[in-house]
Structure formats: structure tokens, C-alpha cells
Amino acid sequence: DTKVNDNLSTILEWSKQESDMGVYANADTPADFAQALKFGADGIGLTRTEHMFFKPERLLEMRRLIIAEDAKEREAPLAELAKMQQGDFYELFRLSEGRSVTIRLLDPPLHEFLPHDEKEIQKVADQLNIDPTYLARRVDALKEINPMLGHRGDRLAVTFPDIYEMQVRAIIGAALDLLDQGLIIEPHIMIPLTGSKAEMKWVREVVVNQVEQLFAKKGAKLEYTVGTMMEIPRACLTADKVAEVSDFFSFGTNDLTQLTYGFSRDDVGSFMPEYIKKGILPADPFQTVDVDGVGELMKMAVEKGRFAKPNLPIGVCGEIGGDPKSIEFFEAIHVSYVSCSPFRVPVAKLAAAQAHIKLNKKKDVMANLVKN
Ligand code: PEP
Ligand code: MG
């Protein structure tokens, strides 16, 4: 075990010397984050906050919130959830010891938190002490035919801004708590599913207003950033405009691939193997970047984004952020960091270093050719 750990440390050390690409982890719990740190992660590149709401007592509060129609009824569950979220973020920030942590605001459609069949509706109505027909009506109102293209991501900030406001207060509140103890945290707040500058500008204002109010209330301040996921083709096509209101970009290649190909990320099993077997696709584009299509959009977004903001940090936090072949492409288009599941971190680090050496060598060969 010690020998394996020594070898891992040596590889990570070499990798760090060779590449300046950051390798972060996708982590939603302190346990995942601790594991990622053991594997040499530079911090967290994506916390999917929706995963924090599935513990029974939280799910109940979330349900209470979602079904409440008027602002007054929403106050109590929002306050409860804010307290729980602040504890979640406090733990992640504390473990980070000042390393970079990026928290993504709520992404999935709200109906995912609600019961669906009659029996479950009855059970939840009993737990919440409400009328089951009222609950059934609320469940119905949130039902969608195609939820992955529907009422999710930052669209929720437009319709239910109080949910994002609660999360922002919890993130900044946790960072201020740690500041009191002498640990400086710069939270990175990430907005999912942005499609346009106008949308990002609107959501950014919701976030910034909330932060400023909290700073005023606490009489304290800290540095923070507000960036966006790049996972809708339209955002990539207009990346120069989106960059004007974003402090960083992070490609969500799962949704970007889904939306570029028009392949449902949840249903590819029924046809993808045939496409690969018959040579129509070289590989599953959700696992290895499709350089000609999705990759071209990414390249365009990097160029446009940095045209507007030359030092814009740009990452990849979709599944392929940990795939070595894809990492070589990301290095070539000047992505600044990748983020992947904790267990893929060491391989990603090594791949980043190899890609750096390979691409720089290529540049040297070119330089010699030009010289001679
Ligand atoms: C993505 O779409 O690539 C992403 C990282 O977000 P999620 O998988 O949570 O949609
Ligand atoms: Mg996504």
C-alpha cells in the first residue's frame, strides 16, 4: 500500500511539473472530496447541489418548498434548507483548506423531488400534513413531457428566484463563517444551462444582489466569482457575449453532447452500440470528445470567450473531463482545467502532463522546421 502511494505521489509530482492544466474533482459530499484530495485533486470543479437534497429530512423540506404556492408559506422551508446547505458548504470549504471550490446552483427539474404515483402522493401528503388532492394538483402542474429540455437549470432562477437566493446565502454564509476562523475562501458560484447573455445577466444579478445584502448584514466581505456552465450550443455560439457577464466558463459536455447531436443522454443504450459496430460513430461521444462537432463548438467558445476576456478561466466538468484522449484535445484548445470523478483524477493528471509534453514537442518540431 505504501509503495502504491509512493508511486502515485511520484507520478502526481511529475505531472504537476509538466502541466499547468488544473485537475479538479466532481464532488458533492465531504467523503468524495476527501477521497479526491487523496488522489491529488486541485480542488472541486463541480458540486452538483441537487444531490444534497435527497436525505429524507431534506427531501421533506424540499417538497414542502416546491408545493408551497405563496411567498409566506415558502419562508419556513427556505430557512430550514438554507441552514442545512450552509452546513454542507461549510464542510466542503473547510476540507478545501483554501483550494478552489465551485458550487453549481440547482439544476434538475423540480418535479424530480416530488412523488409521482397515487400511493406515494398519499404517503407524502400524510408526512406533510396536507390534502393529497392539493399535492396531486401541484405534482401535475410541474409535470413535463420533456423535462431535460424543460423547466430546469437557470430557468428555475427565473421562475423561483428564492431557491437560488437561498443557496447563495448558504454558500457565502459558510465562507464568511470560515473567514471568522481565519480561513480565506473564494467561492465560485456556477450557473447551469445558460443559453444567452441576457439570461446569464439576469441570474447573475439575482446572485450578486443576494451576496451584497448578506455582506451588508454581516458587515464583512470576501472575494467570489459567478460563472456559467457552457452546455447549450447557443451559449457556445455567443460565447463572446456570455463572457461579458461571466467570470469563468465550464463545459458541461454531457448536456452539450446531448444537445449538439440531439441524442438523449439517458437513452443512448438502444442505438449507440449499433452505430459504433457499423462504423457510423467512431466512439460514444459521451465518453470521448467528438472533435469535429462538439469539439468544434468548444473550440469556438474558448476563442470567443477569450476574445472578450483574455484571461477567462475555462474548464470541462462533464463525464469526459477524465478521459485521457479528450484531455489531449482540451489541452490543444487551451482549456485551463478539467474536473472529473475522484477516481479518475490521477489518470487525468497524467494525461494532462502527457498532452502538454506531446503538444509542446510538436511546437518545437515546427519551430525547427521554420528555422531551417
Ligand atoms: C454536464 O452536463 O456535462 C454536466 C456536468 O452537468 P450534469 O451532468 O449534472 O447535467
Ligand atoms: Mg448538465
**Set 317, 327, 345, 351: catalytic member:** 317
- Ligand 2 geometric centre to CA of 32 (Å): 20
In three-state secondary structure terms, 53 is helix
Residue for cell digits 402522493? 121
Q: Which numbered ligand comes closest to the C-alpha of 28?
A: 1
Cβ atoms of residues 337 and 327 within 8 Å: no
- Residue 64 Cα to ligand 1 middle (Å): 26
For atom 9 of ligand 1, which residue has the closest CA? 48
Which ligand 1 atom is nearest residue 192's CA? 6
Nearest Cα residue to 267 out of 245, 286, 283? 286
Say how many Å lie between the CA of residue 180 and the centre of ligand 2: 34
Q: What pLDDT does 359 receive?
A: 87
Q: What is the pLDDT of residue 370?
A: 66
Task: Tell me whether residue 317 is one of the annotated catalytic residues.
Answer: yes
Q: Which one of 287, 317, 335 would you pick to mutate in the ligand 1 pocket, going by the greatest count of ligand atoms within 8 A of its CB?
A: 317
Helix (H) or strand (E) holding 64: helix 56-67
Distance from Cα 343 to the centre of ligand 1, integer Å: 18
Binding site feature residues for Mg(2+): 231, 255
Where does 35-141 show beta strands of DSSP type E? 43-48, 100-104
CA–CA distance, 259 with 293 (Å, rounded to integer): 11
Q: What is the DSSP letter of 105?
A: P
Annotated binding site for substrate: 48, 104, 231, 252-255
Which ligand minimizes its atom distance to the CA of 46? 1
- The ligand minimizing its distance to the Cα of 49 is 1
Q: Is 97 left (phi over 0), alpha (psi -120 to 50) or beta?
A: left
Q: CA–CA separation, 351 vs 348, rounded Å?
A: 5
- In this prediction, residue 295 carries a pLDDT of 98
Pocket test for ligand 1, best of 103, 251, 253, 254 (most atoms within 8 A of CB): 254
Minimum CA distance residue for ligand 1 atom 1? 252
Using only C-alpha atoms, the chain has a radius of gyration, in whole angstroms, of 22
Distance of CA 370 to the CA centre of its chain: 42
223 three-state secondary structure: coil
pLDDT of 60 reads 94
Atom of ligand 1 nearest to the CA of 258: 2
ipTM over 0.90: yes
Place of cell 472530496: 33
Distance CA 339, CA 348 (A): 9
Output the nine-digit C-alpha cell for 361: 514537442
Residue ranges around ligand 1 (CB below 6 Å): 46, 48, 107, 231, 252-255, 317-318
Pocket test for ligand 1, best of 53, 231, 266, 338 (most atoms within 8 A of CB): 231
Report pLDDT for 360.
Answer: 82
User: Which residue, judged by its Cα, is nearest atom 4 of ligand 1?
Assistant: 252
Distance from the alpha carbon of residue 319 to the mean position of ligand 2, in angstroms: 10
- Rounded CA-CA distance 249/258 in Å is 18
Atom of ligand 1 nearest to the CA of 50: 9
Q: How far is CA 155 from the centre of its chain?
A: 16
- C-alpha 281/C-alpha 283 separation (Å) is 5
The residue whose C-alpha atom lies closest to atom 8 belonging to ligand 1 is 254
Atom nearest to 26 CA in ligand 1:
5
For residue 322, give the ligand nearest its CA. 1
Instruction: Decide if 50 contacts 107 (C-beta within 8 A).
Output: yes
Q: pLDDT below 50 — which residues of the chain?
A: none
In this prediction the pTM is 0.94
- The angle, 0 to 180 degrees and rounded to 10, between the axes of the packed helices 296-308 and 253-261 is 120
